[in-house]
Structure 1
Amino acid sequence: MATKPPQIAILGAGTFVRSQYIPRLSEISDLIILKAIWSRTEESARGAVEIARKHFPGVECKWGDNDLDEIIQDKSITAVAVVLAGQSQVDMSLRMLRAGKHVLQEKPAAACISELETALYNYKSIFAEVPGQPIWALAENYRFEPGFVECKKLIADLGKMMSVQVIVEGSMSSSNPYFSSSWRRNFNGGFILDMGVHFIAGLRMLVGCEVVSVSARTSHVDTTLPPPDNVSSVFHLENGCSGVFVMVVSSRSPKIMWRVVGIKGTVQIERGYQGQHGYLVTVFGEDGQSESSFFPFSGVTDELKAFINDVSQQQANKNGGQYEAEPRLSFVEGARDVAVLEAMLESGAKHGALVHVNKF
Structure 2
Amino acid sequence: MGSVPGVAILGAGIFTTSQYLPILSKQSSTAPILKAIWSRSKDAAENAASLVAKFFPDVVAKWGEDGLIQILEDSSIHAVAIVLPAQVQLEYVQRALKSGKHVLQEKPIGPTLSDVRDVLSYHSGMGSQAPVWAVAENYRFEPGLIEAARLVKSIGDMMSFEVIVELPMNSSNPYYSSAWRRDVGFKGGFVLDGGVHFVAGLRLITGCEVTQVSAIARHVDPLLPSPDNVSALLQLENECAGVLVMSYSCTARKVSWRVLGSKGTVEAVRDQKDGSHGYLVTFYPLGGTVLSKFFPFSGVENELKAFVGDVSQIVYEGKTAEDADKRSNVIEAYHDVAVIEAMLKSSNNKGFPVHVDRYEKEI
Q: Same fold (TM over 0.5)?
A: yes
- Look up the match of 1:78: 78
> In the alignment, what sits opposite 1:307?
307
* Displaced runs of 4 or more, over 3 A: 320-323
1:315, CA displacement in angstroms?
1.1
CA gap of 1:134–1:46, structure 2 versus 1, over 3 A, is same
Match of 1:7 in 2: 6
Task: Report the count of equivalent residues.
Answer: 355
Matched residues, percent identical?
51
Partner SS state of residue 84, structure 1: coil
Contact 1:314–1:323 at 8 Å: present in 2 too?
no
Measured in 2, the distance between the counterparts of 1:94 and 1:323 equals 18
Alignment match, 1:341: 340
Distance in 2 (CA, whole Å) between partners of 1:8 and 1:172 is 33
1:36 aligns with 2:17: no
SS of 2:294 mapped into structure 1: strand
Tell me what 2:225 maps to.
Answer: 226
Q: Superposed, which structure 2 residues align to 1:131-150 within 5 Å?
A: 131-150=128-147
- Once structures 1 and 2 are overlaid, which stretch shifts more, 6-15 or 308-317? 308-317
- Distance of 1:256 and 1:288 partners within structure 2: 26
Corresponding residue of 1:65: 65
1:118/1:323 CA distance change after superposition, 3 Å: closer
Counterpart secondary structure, 1:256: strand
Instruction: Letter of the 2:11 partner, please give it.
Output: G
How far apart in 2 are the matches of 1:201 and 1:315? Answer: 29
| SS of equivalent to 2:21 | helix
Could you tell me how far 1:290 is from its partner in structure 2? 1.7
Does residue 297 of structure 1 match 2:294?
A: no
For 1:83 and 1:48, how far apart are their aligned partners in 2? 13
* Equivalent residue, structure 1, for 2:250: 251
Q: Which residue of 2 aligns with 1:51?
A: 51
CA contact under 8 A between 2:3 and 2:316: conserved in structure 1? no
CA offsets, 1:264-295, max 9 Å, x none?
00000000111210000001111264211000
1:156 and 2:158 are equivalent in the alignment: no
Residue identity in the other structure for 2:303: E
Distance 2:223 2:283 in 1: 38
Give the residue type in structure 2 aligned to 1:211. Answer: V
Quote the residue 1:191 is aligned against. 190
Distance 1:38 1:92 in 2: 12
SS of 1:117's partner is: helix
Change (3 A) 1:160 1:175: same
Question: Of the candidates 168, 171, 176, which is equivalent to residue 174 of structure 1?
Answer: 171
What is the DSSP-based 3-state SS (H/G/I as helix, E as strand, rest coil) of the residue aligned with 1:253? coil
Matches of 1:148 and 1:157 in 2, distance apart? 15
Farther off after superposition, 57-66 or 320-329: 320-329
| 5+ long unaligned stretches in structure 2 | none
Distance in 2, Cα, partners of 1:41 & 1:108: 23
Counterpart of 2:211 in structure 1: which amino acid? V
AA paired with 1:151? Answer: A
Write out per-residue CA displacement over residues 128-170 of structure 1, whole angstroms, 9 at most, x where no aligned residue: 3xx3320000000000001011111111111110001000001
Structure 1 segments unaligned to the other structure (5+ residues): none
Q: CA deviation at 1:250?
A: 3.1
Instruction: Give the root-mean-square deviation of aligned CA atoms.
Output: 1.2
Cα distance in 1, alignment partners of residues 27 and 5 from structure 2: 12
CA distance in 2: counterparts of 1:59 and 1:317, whole angstroms: 26
Query: Alpha-carbon deviations, 1:60-114, whole Å to 9, x = none?
Result: 0111111111001001100000000110001101100000000000000010111
> Using the alignment, how far apart are the partners of 2:243 and 2:107 within structure 1?
23
- Equivalent runs, 1:207-226 vs 2, <5 Å: 207-226=206-225
> Is the Cα contact below 8 Å between 2:166 and 2:246 reproduced in 1?
yes
* 1:321 Cα deviation after fit: 6.0
CA distance in 1, matches of 2:27, 2:98: 28
Q: Any idea what SS the aligned residue of 2:67 has? A: helix
Partner Cα distance (1:27, 1:150) in 2: 26
Whole-angstrom distance in 1 between the partners of 2:312 and 2:37:
20
Q: CA deviation at 1:322?
A: 5.8
The DSSP-based 3-state class of the residue aligned with 2:43 is helix
Alignment partners' CA distance in 2, 1:306 and 1:226 = 34
- Is 2:188–2:227's contact at 8 Å kept on the other side of the alignment? yes
Paired residue secondary structure (2:250): strand
SS of the equivalent of 1:252 reads coil
Following superposition, the deviation at residue 323 of structure 1 comes to: 4.8
Q: Which amino acid aligns with 1:140?
A: E
Q: Is the 8 A contact 2:220 2:249 kept in 1?
A: no
TM-score by length of 2: 0.96
User: Structure 2 counterpart of 1:22, which letter?
Assistant: L
Give the TM-score of the pair, scaled to structure 1.
0.96
Structure 1 stretch displaced more, 68-77 or 308-317: 308-317
Moved more, 279-288 or 328-337: 279-288
